[in-house]
């Protein structure tokens, strides 16, 4: 029998996969949020919708633990701040904001302070790669929280230089048509909109995403890693899923690209239901059962599903159980050190099946820590 083991809470917390199958009727009407921890003995893990969790499984508790674990961690690279660290940092800040944890915000802010002085050399270059440009989303989040103009100036410098030389279609010169880009480009431009209210940033992100949807989404709703790499890589598809949900949070329904992006999002979410494992996770290569369940993709898909159910864009009875299962599966990867296990290492594109099958599995990699924080935020957001 397949089991998820919550090692963080000891061997007593063992879940049989069939017990995670949720009854759709539970999601027909959202239950009232409970402020009282629920005992696993009184509430089966399959019950409670997206609002009620057994003690030790809730988003506030687990998100706080992962955010606290992030603060003393070393930089992901010694010579530069890179996107996995930015993703975990941003997720920690959003979690702190949603829970009203000002002390956590201040400590996350203090981690950033040396980048204005002693660690300035670690700032990524501007205007030449999506993985570097997305750094701007982090100071923009700090500006949204603090209103300190130095954060705004730094963040906008990345967002604006990304579009300093657009092509005839209005796409950034950093366009490469890898699925990863649809989070990297989207998050910095959407954050620029959130910080300024200037809709040109939404226009940029939406124009880019519509082009990527047309180029990469396949009839089954999933995405090739790139036009010349016909594999449905888990985390790569996860980047696209969370990119769409981040953009749709702010993109007006009347926007010229909204219908295209919403259609792409709905098509993908429908496909994901088919490939979710009984334990609630998704695999390294989504459509290949011989590949291993992978935690970062699971977290990203969970985040996108949670947002869609909460927003009302996805039917609660159909998608709510899948979202709940996905959160429980993700929580099952959190070990006693607050590290997520089973994280695919950093992955470039390559038209070679074995390249994806043989990727190393990491523990505590920011690629995996960040999605848990995003899921926690999605569950806590009202």
How far is the C-alpha of 333 from the C-alpha of 295, rounded, in Å? 7
Domain boundaries, the chain: 49-380
What is the mean pLDDT for each group of 10 consecutive residues in the chain (382 residues)?
40 35 34 33 59 93 98 97 98 98 98 98 97 98 98 98 97 98 98 98 98 98 98 98 98 98 98 97 97 98 98 96 97 97 98 97 98 98 84
Tokens read off for 78: 């010694």
Q: Which pTM was predicted?
A: 0.89
Instruction: Give me the pLDDT at residue 47, please.
Output: 60
357 CB contacts (<8 Å, ≥6 apart)? 284, 285, 290, 291
- Residue 223 pairs in a beta bridge with 217
Instruction: Give me the pLDDT at residue 38, please.
Output: 33
Instruction: Give me the pLDDT at residue 182, please.
Output: 98
Instruction: Give me the pLDDT at residue 240, please.
Output: 98
Instruction: Give me the pLDDT at residue 37, please.
Output: 29
195 CB contacts (<8 Å, ≥6 apart)? 140, 143, 144, 152, 155, 156
How far is the C-alpha of 318 from the C-alpha of 23, rounded, in Å? 10
Instruction: Give me the pLDDT at residue 108, please.
Output: 98
Measure CA 55 to chain center.
Answer: 24
Of 3.40.50.620, 1.50.10.10, 1.10.287.130, 3.80.10.10, the CATH number of 49-380 is 1.50.10.10
């Amino acid at each position: 029998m397949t089991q998820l083991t919550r090692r963080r809470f000891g061997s007593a917390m063992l879940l049989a996969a069939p017990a995670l199958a949720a009854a759709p009727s539970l999601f027909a009407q959202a239950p009232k949020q409970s402020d009282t921890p629920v005992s696993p003995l009184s509430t089966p893990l399959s019950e409670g919708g997206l609002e009620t969790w057994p003690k030790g499984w809730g988003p506030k508790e687990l998100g706080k633990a992962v955010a606290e674990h992030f603060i003393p961690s070393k930089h992901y690279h010694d010579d530069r701040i890179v996107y996995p660290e930015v993703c975990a940092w941003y997720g920690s800040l959003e979690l702190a904001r949603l829970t009203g944890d000002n002390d956590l915000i201040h400590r996350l802010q203090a981690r950033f302070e040396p980048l204005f002085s002693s660690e300035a050399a670690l700032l990524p270059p501007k205007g030449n790669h999506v993985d570097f440009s997305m750094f701007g989303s982090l100071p923009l989040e700090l500006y949204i929280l603090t209103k300190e103009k130095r954060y705004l100036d730094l963040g906008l410098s990345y967002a604006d230089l990304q579009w300093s030389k657009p092509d005839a279609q209005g796409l950034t010169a950093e366009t490469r048509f890898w699925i990863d880009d649809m989070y990297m480009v989207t998050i910095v431009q959407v954050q620029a909109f959130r910080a300024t209210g200037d809709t040109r940033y939404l226009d940029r992100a939406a124009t880019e995403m519509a082009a990527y949807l047309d180029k990469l989404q396949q009839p089954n709703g999933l995405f090739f890693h790139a036009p010349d790499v016909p594999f449905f890589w888990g985390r790569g598809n996860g980047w696209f899923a969370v990119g769409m949900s981040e953009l749709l949070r702010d993109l007006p329904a009347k926007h010229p690209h909204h219908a295209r992006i919403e259609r792409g999002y709905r098509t993908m979410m429908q496909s994901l239901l088919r490939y979710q494992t009984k334990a609630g996770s998704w695999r390294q290569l989504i459509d290949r059962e011989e590949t291993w369940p992978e935690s970062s993709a699971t977290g990203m898909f969970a985040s996108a599903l949670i947002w869609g159910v909460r927003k009302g864009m996805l039917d609660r009875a159909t998608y709510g159980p899948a979202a709940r299962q996905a959160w429980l599966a993700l929580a099952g990867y959190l070990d006693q050190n607050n590290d997520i296990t089973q994280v695919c290492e950093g992955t470039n594109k390559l038209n070679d099946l074995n390249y994806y099958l043989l990727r190393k599995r990491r523990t505590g990699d920011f690629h995996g820590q960040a999605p848990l924080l995003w899921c926690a935020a999605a569950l806590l957001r009202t």
